[in-house]
């Protein structure tokens, strides 16, 4: 499983996931707030299945794989 969630995206997912779960646990939002578990997991594992489906990544590209790099 390749990482496709990086940097600020990862931090935001972790914070949003924790916030959603806290709101659901305290009854501030409905049961849909437990979706925060998925959001938190994508941040912790640095992998998002939706990103894979759409060919998207927020991870920085390794220096040896930069476009138009000469050998």
Task: Write down the pLDDT at residue 1.
Answer: 76
Tell me whether residue 22 is in a domain: yes
14-44 as b/e: b if 16+ CB within 10 A: beebebbbeebeeeebeeebeebeebbebbe
Tell me whether residue 24 is in a domain: yes
Task: Write down the pLDDT at residue 60.
Answer: 84
Tell me whether residue 45 is in a domain: yes
Task: Write down the pLDDT at residue 2.
Answer: 86
| Intervals of the chain under pLDDT 70 | 63-71
Tell me whether residue 62 is in a domain: no
Task: Write down the pLDDT at residue 21.
Answer: 97
Structural domain harbouring 12: 7-56
Helices (H) and strands (E) in the chain, counts: 3, 0
Task: Write down the pLDDT at residue 35.
Answer: 95
Task: Write down the pLDDT at residue 19.
Answer: 97
Task: Write down the pLDDT at residue 67.
Answer: 60
Tell me whether residue 68 is in a domain: no
In this prediction the pTM is 0.79
Tell me whether residue 63 is in a domain: no
Do the Cβ atoms of 49 and 4 come closer than 8 Å? no
φ, ψ (nearest 5 deg) of residue 44: -70, -40
Tell me whether residue 69 is in a domain: no
């Amino acid at each position: 499983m390749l990482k496709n969630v990086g940097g600020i995206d990862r931090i935001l997912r972790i914070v949003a996931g924790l916030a959603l779960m806290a709101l659901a646990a305290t009854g501030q939002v409905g049961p849909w707030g437990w979706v925060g578990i998925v959001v938190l997991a994508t941040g912790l594992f640095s992998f998002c299945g939706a990103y894979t489906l759409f060919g998207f990544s927020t991870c920085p590209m390794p220096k040896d794989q930069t476009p138009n790099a000469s050998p």
